[in-house]
Chains A and B, each alone.
Chain A
Amino acid sequence: MSDTTTSGRHARHDKHTIAVMGNPNTGKSTLFSALTGTRQKVANFPGVTVEAKIGTARFENSELTVIDLPGTYSLSARSPDERVATEALLGRIEGTPKPDGVLIVLDASSLDRNLYLGTQVLEFGLPAVVALTMMDVAEARGITVDAKKLSETLGVPVVVVNAPKGRGLDELKSTLHRTLHHPGKPLELPYPEDFTRGVGTLHENLCDLGVELGFKPTRPEALRLLVDGAGPFFEECEEVGGESWTRQFFEIRERAAGGRSLSMVEAQTRYGAIGGWMRDVKQTETREGRTKTDVVDGILTHKVWGSLVFILAMGLIFQSIYSWSGPMMDAIDGGFGALGDWVGGMLSEGALKSLIVDGVIPGVGGVLIFLPQILILFLFIAILEDLGYMARAAFLMDRLMSRFGLNGRSFIPMLSGFACAVPAIMGTRVIEDRNTRLTTIFLAPFMSCSARLPVYVLFIAAFVPETKVLGFLELQGLVLFAMYWVGVLAAIPTALVLKKGILKSKVTPFLLELPSYKAPRIKAVARTLLDRGGSFVKRAGTIILAVSILVWAAGYFPHSQRVDDQYDAEIATAEAPYSESVVKFDPETDPDSLMAKFLEADEAHDARVAALAEEITDDDALETAVADSKKKRNAAMAEIAASSTEATQALNDYVAWKELSEARGEIENQRAGHHLENSFLGRAGHLIEPAVKPLGWDWRIGMAAIASFPAREVIVATLGTIFNLGGDQDEESDSLREVVKDARRADGTPLFTLATGLSIMVFFALCAQCAATLAVMRRETNSWKWPVASFLYMTGLAYVAALVTYQVASAWGA
């Protein structure tokens, strides 16, 4: 949006702006990326959610600002999205530079249909260049396009490009450069006389209205308004012109139509002209046999195989999220553990150390650990999208979706909902029907977004055993898959109620192009991954960091001295029976002492046991191995003790020290727990405990859930902070997963059981804990009614479902 403001510094150079327009699936985005490289950013159009990318292309001394408008099949302005393309073309969008020319991208393999939009754009009369893409695909289908003849016919330069291979780009840039210096000439099509007269009359009429409208409508806009007779521009005119204008408008329309429908007149004139041109421009050699896409589609949209592949593909994605991410997650986990230890060792005991070691590191680290899984999910979504499979998924799913008042078009926003509900809700703009759109908006947050993934992963890793079902399916992956279904299953009855009740919807058009399959572009996939990963990291570094600090502060203060004194006294009491050499012993400062040697032997044993537990799955075998290790340790210790009388004394001291350490650790844990319960967070938590108790939660989980109301992934950070503050850990480097497993209630029973874990996951699957989603919902529906309804409904549903889950699961003894 600020691109124009920076232009002043290079004012000496030639500077122009072009808009890129074309059908979806024409390779438009690839071309845009090839032209602008990495010099691009996303621009949002105020008021509507359509976004365009703005980038800069360089050619010799000149700089070209390129606006990539959303791909459309037509300029007919039935939806706000399509209207915005026209507005942008005319430079009427605030903050977006007015295009000096237009680059029309045409797919040679389906040139006729691509030219429909092409002729609409050319009528605007802007300087224009055509980029002809997909020549190779066309040739493979036996279609040859004569670019020179096409150029002569249309009266604009045509450049053949192959963006993935980088061919034709320089020629395209120099052609653009040349063309922008000459005014364009509007394309004229042989419309019937009545129609042309109608456009003229309406254009004059609109010019009279221009003052009130705030802009001077162009003739092509008058044409659009005449044919469409609906949409945002029509509503604008109706509002400004009043009833008399509307009456006049429909009179003009009636006269222009000449008995046929106006869209029929437009389509027949355009396609009639295009068909005539094609006889010279295009040669089609009928090829027997099926294209690759046909063959692939024979399987992917087959009655049996297609559905099977669809289910398998979805299953594979969730399995891979588990099986591929392990090593990366362990590395991140270990890294943050080490960082905590290192920083902890550098700082002296106190609030600042606690802030960093208990607040920031577990908070941010606890969220960042999910980066690998988010990357894997987006890798698959990006590949499927690039491949062209998403349109097939919509084709497969339309029948099912239409039963719930949705359509195949809702499928893509719903699928994006698995990444994030915000773009999903923004993506519903492609749905023309208001009620279908509202239903989709209301249902999108039920899809399990990537922010829920951390919650699932944490509790699944802690409570679901790492076993395989049927020999090859990971049980953990299966449970994750099931969690994704929870949202979907809740969405179905919700949709049915909406469809029958407040959002009764007539069936809306569902026309969808099934583009040919393409090999995924590595660069585009990599870019998506980089974007998604980058924004996730950014989020962890900004808002999650801030919330971690606040949660820490709420859990740390007021840090009462009285409590500290009480526990200091308890520690003094515990230390009283021991000799000074036992109380004062510190392996860190005294690493060469005899006592330290015993500790070493002991720790070696602990390390062996940990390694054995990883290796050996059989319980009996493990027990024998552990006993062996213990014998080894005892022998080592006995050997040291036998060396001198001092050593014998040191062994006694060491045993006493170990006992004391445990007692001290216990008191420190109590101290930390007491502080936490006394904190602002603790008091608030106890206040709400009665409400969350039936869900199997204690006050700490209740608090974490409340702290995560602005954004659900915060719960992971919050739990990390709460358990660190509460001293519920043996050593600082323990991962949150382990901490969760070891957490105890006040009475010493484990805090988290499988039933509690499931209840938390179900709650988070269904709750509306995302301020960004509610905000976007407010903007998209232009009313607080929908976000408020969504929040109340989802939170209520989440509570009830978590309650039922816990009660049923505990009844089964989970």
Chain B
Amino acid sequence: MSSQTLDKLPIGASATVLDVAGEPALQQRLLEMGVLPGVQVSIVRFAPLGDPIEIKVMGYSLSLRKSEAAHVTVSA
């Protein structure tokens, strides 16, 4: 199974989270908000200026920056 990071997915794509890295504060926040290995995420849209991204996770909408999404590895 190939993998890539969350920020590289196109709008409408769905994937499963494989790993969440990043410096401790960011990692903890992502995990708390439900972005953790095994969870399905989908890309809803990009903000008008291209960043941040809106994703759907655990049935709600979460906004995060591309630089933060880059720490989330997902299945391709």
Question: Is B50 a contact partner of A112 (Cβ separation < 8 A)?
Answer: no
Question: Is A399 a contact partner of B51 (Cβ separation < 8 A)?
Answer: yes
Question: Is A510 a contact partner of B64 (Cβ separation < 8 A)?
Answer: yes
Question: Is B67 a contact partner of A511 (Cβ separation < 8 A)?
Answer: no
Instruction: State whether A398 and B47 are in contact (beta carbons under 8 Å apart), knowing that A73-B33, A267-B32, A512-B63 are contacts in the complex.
Output: yes
Of A230, A297, A395, A510, which contacts B68 at CB under 8 A?
A: A510
- Residues of B26-49 whose CB lies within 8 A of A: 26-34, 36-37, 39, 44-45, 47-49
Question: Is A514 a contact partner of B62 (Cβ separation < 8 A)?
Answer: yes
Of B39, B59, B63, which contacts A511 at CB under 8 A?
A: B63
Q: Decide if A271 is an interface residue (CB 8 Å cutoff).
A: yes
Query: What residues of chain A lie closer than 8 Å to B54, measured between beta carbons?
Result: 297, 301, 395, 514
Question: Is B30 a contact partner of A264 (Cβ separation < 8 A)?
Answer: no
Question: Beta-carbon contacts of A362-382 to B below 8 Å, as 1s and 0s?
Answer: 000000000000000000000
Question: Is B33 a contact partner of A511 (Cβ separation < 8 A)?
Answer: yes
In the complex, the chain A residue whose C-beta lies closest to that of B28 is A263
CB of A132 to closest CB in B, whole Å: 15
CB of A505 to closest CB in B, whole Å: 13
Interchain CA distance A510-B67 in the complex, whole Å = 10
Q: Decide if B12 is an interface residue (CB 8 Å cutoff).
A: no
Question: Beta-carbon contacts of A471-511 to B below 8 Å, as 1s and 0s?
Answer: 00000000000000000000000000000000000011111
Question: Is A109 a contact partner of B59 (Cβ separation < 8 A)?
Answer: yes
- Residues of A293-338 whose CB lies within 8 A of B: 293-294, 297, 301-304, 306-307
Query: What residues of chain A lie closer than 8 Å to B37, measured between beta carbons?
Result: 268
In the complex, the chain A residue whose C-beta lies closest to that of B37 is A268
Interchain CA distance A530-B64 in the complex, whole Å = 36
In the complex, the chain A residue whose C-beta lies closest to that of B50 is A399
Q: Decide if A432 is an interface residue (CB 8 Å cutoff).
A: yes
Query: What residues of chain B lie closer than 8 Å to A230, measured between beta carbons?
Result: 24-25
Q: Decide if B58 is an interface residue (CB 8 Å cutoff).
A: yes
Query: What residues of chain B lie closer than 8 Å to A116, measured between beta carbons?
Result: 32, 34
Question: Is B64 a contact partner of A511 (Cβ separation < 8 A)?
Answer: yes
Of B26, B27, B62, which contacts A513 at CB under 8 A?
A: B62
- Residues of A263-295 whose CB lies within 8 A of B: 263-264, 266-268, 271, 293-294
CB of A284 to closest CB in B, whole Å: 8
Question: Is B63 a contact partner of A263 (Cβ separation < 8 A)?
Answer: no
- Residues of A75-117 whose CB lies within 8 A of B: 76, 78, 109-110, 112-113, 116
Query: What residues of chain B lie closer than 8 Å to A621, measured between beta carbons?
Result: none
In the complex, the chain B residue whose C-beta lies closest to that of A112 is B58
Query: What residues of chain A lie closer than 8 Å to B39, measured between beta carbons?
Result: 271
Question: Is A507 a contact partner of B27 (Cβ separation < 8 A)?
Answer: no
Question: Is A509 a contact partner of B68 (Cβ separation < 8 A)?
Answer: yes
Question: Is B24 a contact partner of A261 (Cβ separation < 8 A)?
Answer: yes
Question: Is A398 a contact partner of B52 (Cβ separation < 8 A)?
Answer: yes
Of B30, B31, B59, B65, which contacts A110 at CB under 8 A?
A: B59
Question: Is A398 a contact partner of B51 (Cβ separation < 8 A)?
Answer: yes
Interchain CA distance A266-B67 in the complex, whole Å = 24
Question: Is B47 a contact partner of A514 (Cβ separation < 8 A)?
Answer: no
Main secondary structure of the interface of B (DSSP, over half): mixed
Of B48, B50, B60, B68, which contacts A306 at CB under 8 A?
A: B48
Interchain CA distance A74-B62 in the complex, whole Å = 16
Q: Decide if A229 is an interface residue (CB 8 Å cutoff).
A: yes
Interchain CA distance A395-B47 in the complex, whole Å = 7
Interchain CA distance A408-B59 in the complex, whole Å = 22
Question: Is B58 a contact partner of A110 (Cβ separation < 8 A)?
Answer: yes
Interchain CA distance A141-B24 in the complex, whole Å = 34
Query: What residues of chain B lie closer than 8 Å to A394, measured between beta carbons?
Result: 63
Q: Decide if A400 is an interface residue (CB 8 Å cutoff).
A: yes
In the complex, the chain A residue whose C-beta lies closest to that of B22 is A509
CB of A121 to closest CB in B, whole Å: 14
Query: What residues of chain B lie closer than 8 Å to A395, measured between beta carbons?
Result: 47, 52, 54, 63
CB of B56 to closest CB in A, whole Å: 9
Interchain CA distance A141-B58 in the complex, whole Å = 13
Q: Decide if B3 is an interface residue (CB 8 Å cutoff).
A: no
Query: What residues of chain A lie closer than 8 Å to B20, measured between beta carbons?
Result: 264
Question: Is A303 a contact partner of B36 (Cβ separation < 8 A)?
Answer: no
Of B24, B48, B68, which contacts A263 at CB under 8 A?
A: B24
Query: What residues of chain B lie closer than 8 Å to A431, measured between beta carbons?
Result: none
CB of B6 to closest CB in A, whole Å: 13
Interchain CA distance A402-B67 in the complex, whole Å = 12
Query: What residues of chain A lie closer than 8 Å to B61, measured between beta carbons?
Result: 293, 297, 513-516
Interchain CA distance A516-B25 in the complex, whole Å = 26
Q: Decide if A176 is an interface residue (CB 8 Å cutoff).
A: no
Interchain CA distance A112-B40 in the complex, whole Å = 13
Query: What residues of chain B lie closer than 8 Å to A229, measured between beta carbons?
Result: 24
Interchain CA distance A757-B22 in the complex, whole Å = 53
Query: What residues of chain B lie closer than 8 Å to A109, measured between beta carbons?
Result: 59-60
Of A267, A268, A510, A513, which contacts B60 at CB under 8 A?
A: A513
Interchain CA distance A494-B13 in the complex, whole Å = 40
Of A78, A293, A304, A399, which contacts B52 at CB under 8 A?
A: A399
Q: Which of A73, A396, A399, A507 gathers the greatest number of chain B CB atoms within 10 Å?
A: A399
CB of A758 to closest CB in B, whole Å: 32
Instruction: State whether A267 and B36 are in contact (beta carbons under 8 Å apart), knowing that A113-B60, A510-B64 are contacts in the complex.
Output: yes
Question: Is A307 a contact partner of B48 (Cβ separation < 8 A)?
Answer: yes
Interchain CA distance A242-B44 in the complex, whole Å = 48
Interchain CA distance A276-B63 in the complex, whole Å = 26
Interchain CA distance A510-B34 in the complex, whole Å = 15
CB of B57 to closest CB in A, whole Å: 8
In the complex, the chain B residue whose C-beta lies closest to that of A141 is B59
Q: Decide if A143 is an interface residue (CB 8 Å cutoff).
A: yes
Interchain CA distance A268-B67 in the complex, whole Å = 23
Query: What residues of chain B lie closer than 8 Å to A398, measured between beta carbons?
Result: 47, 51-52, 63, 65
Question: Is A301 a contact partner of B64 (Cβ separation < 8 A)?
Answer: no
Question: Is B59 a contact partner of A263 (Cβ separation < 8 A)?
Answer: no
Instruction: State whether A113 and B24 are in contact (beta carbons under 8 Å apart), knowing that A302-B48, A400-B49, A511-B63 are contacts in the complex.
Output: no
Interchain residue pairs with CB less than 8 A apart (24): A73-B32, A73-B33, A110-B58, A116-B34, A227-B28, A263-B31, A263-B32, A264-B20, A267-B28, A271-B36, A297-B44, A297-B54, A301-B48, A395-B47, A398-B65, A402-B65, A507-B65, A507-B67, A510-B65, A511-B33, A513-B33, A514-B54, A514-B63, A515-B61
Binding site for B on A (CB under 8 A): 73-74, 76, 78, 109-110, 112-113, 116, 141, 143, 227-230, 261, 263-264, 266-268, 271, 293-294, 297, 301-304, 306-307, 391, 394-396, 398-400, 402, 408, 432, 507-516
Binding site for A on B (CB under 8 A): 20, 24-34, 36-37, 39, 44-45, 47-52, 54, 58-65, 67-68
